[in-house]
């Protein structure tokens, strides 16, 4: 193994683990939302703010963290970000125990700050990757990083829900924080020193051109909207699937319902494969195929049969992560101004959609039941697919 290949391999493994740490924490409350709603005596959409406030914080954090990474180095900034996130994740668990009357509201504040800190990882991971590996490898390598984020999302959900049902939702979230810390230690051990990074400080008057330069590109606008629309729909499905399965006619215990999150493994499988297909053929058809597969999976969850709902969840997850792996890598390659800023704008849209539609999916659930949430998601994914088909070029 050459020194360059060893460097690339260590980087990929390190980014995989920090992806797990980030997204395990971000989504650990998702499988616990029915428990949180019951204990805190709030509605489903209000309980979902435990997710939406964190994703909103992450959406707002990605751009500032991209400039911190430009000035101080990708690895150093990511270490600061994930360490602070673990600290505020602990505070989010403690708030309801320490302050009974305002505990839920304070937990939401801590979740927002935790999300802002977590924003340092997606803001910098793809830029770190693109700088340290060859362009040919980077397309497929982005899929490996995305597979880590999908496994992290699975870990947060599949661990927190069973533990939370037995010991309370706070202990469920705390357990995930401990796992995240262990993954951070792996990142610290393996992440290599950057070979191709040149620090630069951006003056305030240069920040706006670096961002707006990317916004002049129709291709980049369409990719940013892909993240906004499809991620919003994807999170809405997972936020409220537990409510759907725990209600009649299914009435499944929460710890059993949490196993539906194993569908996330479909995303872990599809992400690197989509990256390799995009590198071998072309990005656009792979992205469109991912969106169409997601739409098919979402529609299947309308069938009132448990195993069909599970199948639909697997299919929509595989399709979503395939499209996301392609789009997230494409925004760096298509950047017309700052590469890190282009990735940050994608993440701003991606997590902004998660925050907005992750909440509105609950409003649709309250108004029209599960079919209301599903129809909202089908509309979002359909718009994203039409935009991609019409606007994106053949690369």
pLDDT in tens, 179-201: 999 999 999 988 877 666 666 66
pLDDT in tens, 250-305: 888 887 888 888 888 888 788 888 888 888 888 999 999 999 999 999 999 999 99
Rounded to whole angstroms, the Cα distance separating 164 from 365 reads 24
Q: Does 380 score more than 60 pLDDT? A: yes
What's the rounded mean pLDDT across residues 223-247? 93
Rounded to whole angstroms, the Cα distance separating 170 from 174 reads 6
**Span 3-190+207-391: which CATH code?**
1.20.1250.20
pLDDT in tens, 42-96: 888 899 999 999 999 998 988 888 888 888 888 889 999 999 999 999 999 999 8
């Amino acid at each position: 193994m050459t020194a360059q290949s060893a460097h690339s391999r260590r980087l990929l493994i390190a980014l995989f683990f920090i992806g797990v740490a980030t997204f395990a924490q971000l989504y650990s409350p998702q499988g616990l939302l029915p428990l949180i709603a019951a204990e805190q005596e709030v509605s489903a959409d209000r309980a979902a703010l435990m997710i939406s406030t964190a994703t909103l914080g992450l959406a707002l954090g990605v751009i500032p963290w991209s400039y911190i990474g430009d000035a101080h180095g990708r690895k150093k900034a990511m270490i600061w970000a994930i360490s602070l996130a673990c600290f505020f994740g602990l505070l989010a668990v403690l708030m309801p125990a320490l302050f009974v009357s305002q505990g839920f509201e304070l937990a939401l504040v801590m979740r927002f700050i935790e999300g802002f800190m977590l924003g340092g990882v997606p803001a910098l991971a793809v830029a770190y990757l693109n700088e340290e590996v060859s362009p040919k490898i980077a397309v497929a390598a982005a899929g490996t990083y995305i597979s880590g984020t999908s496994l992290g999302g699975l870990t947060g959900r599949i661990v927190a829900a069973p533990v939370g049902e037995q010991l309370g939702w706070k202990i469920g979230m705390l357990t995930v924080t401990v796992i995240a810390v262990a993954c951070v230690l792996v990142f610290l051990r393996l992440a290599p020193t950057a070979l191709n990074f040149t620090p630069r400080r951006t003056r305030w008057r240069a920040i706006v051109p670096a961002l707006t330069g990317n916004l002049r590109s129709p291709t980049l606008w369409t990719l940013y909207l892909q993240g906004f629309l499809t991620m919003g729909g994807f999170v809405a499905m997972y936020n409220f699937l537990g409510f759907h399965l725990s209600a009649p006619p299914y009435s499944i215990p929460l710890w059993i319902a949490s196993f539906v999150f194993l569908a996330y493994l479909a995303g872990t499988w599809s992400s690197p494969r989509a990256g390799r297909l995009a590198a071998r053929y072309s990005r656009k058809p792979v992205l469109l195929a991912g969106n169409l597969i997601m739409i098919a999976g979402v529609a299947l969850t309308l069938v009132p049969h448990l195993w069909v709902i599970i199948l639909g969840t697997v299919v929509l997850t595989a399709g979503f992560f395939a499209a996301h792996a392609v789009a997230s890598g494409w925004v760096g390659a298509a950047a017309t101004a700052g590469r890190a800023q282009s990735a940050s704008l994608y993440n701003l849209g991606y997590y902004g959609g998660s925050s907005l539609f992750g909440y509105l999916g609950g409003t649709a659930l309250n108004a029209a039941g599960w079919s209301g949430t599903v129809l909202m998601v089908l509309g979002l994914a359909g718009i994203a697919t039409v935009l991609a088909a019409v606007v994106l070029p053949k690369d």
